[in-house]
Amino acid sequence: MEEKKSFLKQNIDFDSPNKNIVPITTSISSDGKLYVGGCSIEELVKKYDSPLYILDEITLRKSCRAYKKALEKYYPGESLPIYASKANSSIFMSNLVASEGLGLDAVSEGELLTALKGGVPNEKIVFHGNNKSDKEIEFAVRNNINVIVDNDYDLERLEEISNSSNRDLEIMIRFTPGIECHTHEYIRTGSFDSKFGFGIEYLNTLFQRISNTKHLKLNGLHAHIGSQIFELDPHKDLGEIMVSVILDAKKYGHYIKKLNVGGGLGIKYIEDDDPPSIDEWVRTISNSVLKACEKHNLDLPTLLCEPGRSIVSTAGITIYKVGAFKKIPGIRTYLSVDGGMSDNPRPITYQSSYSACLVSNPFNINSKNKFTIAGKHCESGDVLFKEIELANCKTGDLICVFGTGAYNNSMSSNYNRIPRPAALLVCDGEAEIIQKRESPLDLLKYDVLPDRFIKQN
């Protein structure tokens, strides 16, 4: 039997999981079945049903450690990687990153609570957002969480809180550095059309404005230039720009102790993707900040970065069961699975591409059939793969989609009243539940039928 070349045959980069399509513990048994974290995927579905999110603990920990190790190697000052929890927020993820010594970035009271419940120390949490509510800001200040000021409205409220409590508050500000990134190209512009952060041209006014407050102490700068970025130059430029802003701030009496360069390192979703390693990314940003500080004779600030996707995406897979087929002669064959846009909205939202295989035939032996993999939702655009080759695929087979750890579960919905999948953690042949499967009844919990409608019926 001829074996087709498969992405599953590529060498694994154990140091930088974002350079692989599959979790680093992925293996194929002698009888040709897919295993991750030492667990048979087929057996997990028998026990936990499908669709199923799975996270591989070893891949997660490797990614966290790669950031820590590279920062220690390349940056002589203080540093801290901060996990961007929007990528995948849960008590488990918060606990795991805390156990690896990382901080956490949150953008809502929900993400803040999740981080605290998971054991992330308050002082290692940063709170972002372009429209924080009063309640959220007060919650963050009360819990000594670092607030990143995104706009004048944030500033006004923090000034009010610090004045009314007669207490100094340390703040960081977010600005748009004029670097616009698409995955494969970037441009530097005078200003940048973004809802987040202060325009770079406004910073001098802002520094003066903060100097005029009684209790606000500006101690940090933040910028984030985009996501799924494969180029290193934008982050090199970012380091230089941020250091130049430290100098501007100094003119207004602000001593910047912390530089947060955001996240954005891409991962390998498909064979053509070739992201830099975590080590290369950290080396680039570290060297850029180091050199610029040396040039201007500045003390080294604490270097913070906020990776999300490159920490959690490659560790995650999603398993679906194949149901109906619809053959349209001369056009395509639709194969429908038991999930779709409610558990993974990225393909319909951003036309994102993934890699996948059959769990019972991962190497795609004897493949000659092309399919369009459709979700089960009432949207024609609910398509996970426009065209994929899968050998002898039939109803009841399992499909594994790789690289789904980030922005899948966290962006999931209950569209069509479809319950969210369970999530498992796998490690050394053991599987543990980290998110229970929702049931259709769970989804009724928050529905209310006003009394007068009950009487009518």
Ligand X SMILES: Cc1ncc(COP(=O)(O)O)c(C=O)c1O
Q: Which two tokens stand for residue 413?
A: 């919905």
- Note whether 306 binds ligand X by CB under 6 A: yes
Stretch that binds ligand X, among 79-87, 211-219, 388-396, 433-441 (CB under 6 A): 79-87
Nearer to ligand X, 96 or 373 (CB): 96
Fill in the amino acid letter for 360.
Answer: S
**Beta-sheet strands, E only, within 329-421:** 332-337, 356-358, 370-374, 383-389, 398-402
Residues pairing with 151 in the sheet: none
- Note whether 227 binds ligand X by CB under 6 A: yes
Long-range (24+ apart) CB contacts under 8 A made by 71-75 are: 71/282, 71/286, 71/303, 71/305, 73/279, 73/282, 73/283, 74/282, 74/283, 74/286, 74/287, 74/290, 75/282, 75/286, 75/289, 75/290, 75/300, 75/303
Cα separation of 334 and 336, whole Å? 6
In the complex, the smallest distance separating the C-beta of residue 44 from ligand X, rounded to whole angstroms, is 27
- Note whether 94 binds ligand X by CB under 6 A: no
In the complex, the smallest distance separating the C-beta of residue 227 from ligand X, rounded to whole angstroms, is 3
- Note whether 177 binds ligand X by CB under 6 A: no
SS3 270: coil
Nearer to ligand X, 90 or 364 (CB): 90
Nearer to ligand X, 298 or 411 (CB): 411
Cα separation of 172 and 120, whole Å? 20
Nearer to ligand X, 309 or 321 (CB): 309
Nearer to ligand X, 186 or 363 (CB): 186
In the complex, the smallest distance separating the C-beta of residue 224 from ligand X, rounded to whole angstroms, is 4
Residue among 51, 129, 264, 375 that touches ligand X (CB under 6 A)? 264
Residue among 24, 39, 87, 172 that touches ligand X (CB under 6 A)? 87
Residue among 84, 120, 358, 388 that touches ligand X (CB under 6 A)? 84
Stretch that binds ligand X, among 90-98, 113-121, 301-309, 349-357 (CB under 6 A): 301-309
SS3 423: strand
Residue among 19, 61, 62, 128 that touches ligand X (CB under 6 A)? 128
Cis check for the bond before 234: say yes or no (omega within 30 of 0): no
Cα separation of 268 and 314, whole Å? 8
Instruction: Find the radius of gyration of the CA atoms of the chain.
Output: 24
Nearer to ligand X, 357 or 406 (CB): 406
Nearer to ligand X, 263 or 345 (CB): 263
- Note whether 283 binds ligand X by CB under 6 A: no
In the sheet that holds 34-36, the strands lie side by side as 27-28, 34-36, 39-40
Stretch that binds ligand X, among 71-79, 260-268, 358-366, 394-402 (CB under 6 A): 260-268
Cα separation of 455 and 457, whole Å? 5
Q: Specify the length of the chain in residues.
A: 457
* Spatial contact of 64 and 305, defined as CB atoms under 8 Å apart: no
Give alpha helix (H) positions in 304-376: 309-312, 346-350
* Spatial contact of 209 and 147, defined as CB atoms under 8 Å apart: no
Residues pairing with 117 in the sheet: none
- Note whether 377 binds ligand X by CB under 6 A: no
Cα separation of 281 and 300, whole Å? 19
Nearer to ligand X, 51 or 262 (CB): 262
In the complex, the smallest distance separating the C-beta of residue 240 from ligand X, rounded to whole angstroms, is 19
Stretch that binds ligand X, among 32-40, 139-147, 258-266, 365-373 (CB under 6 A): 258-266
Cα separation of 238 and 262, whole Å? 10
Residue among 23, 51, 262, 275 that touches ligand X (CB under 6 A)? 262
- Note whether 124 binds ligand X by CB under 6 A: no
Q: Which two tokens stand for residue 437?
A: 């499967």
- Residues binding ligand X: number (CB under 6 A): 16
Nearer to ligand X, 310 or 360 (CB): 310
Residue 147: count of CB within 10 angstroms of its CB: 22
- Note whether 376 binds ligand X by CB under 6 A: no
378 is catalytic: yes
**Interaction mask 307-346, ligand X, x per CB under 6 A:** xxxx------------------------------------
User: Of these residues, 39, 357, 378, 393, which one is catalytic?
Assistant: 378
Q: Identify which of 151, 152, 146, 153 has the alpha carbon closest to the alpha carbon of residue 169.
A: 146
- Note whether 178 binds ligand X by CB under 6 A: no
- Note whether 263 binds ligand X by CB under 6 A: yes
- Note whether 275 binds ligand X by CB under 6 A: no
Residues pairing with 147 in the sheet: 127
In the complex, the smallest distance separating the C-beta of residue 264 from ligand X, rounded to whole angstroms, is 4
* Residues at the contact surface with ligand X, assessed by CB under 6 A: 84, 86-87, 105, 128, 224, 227, 262-265, 306-310
Q: Which positions are catalytic?
A: 378
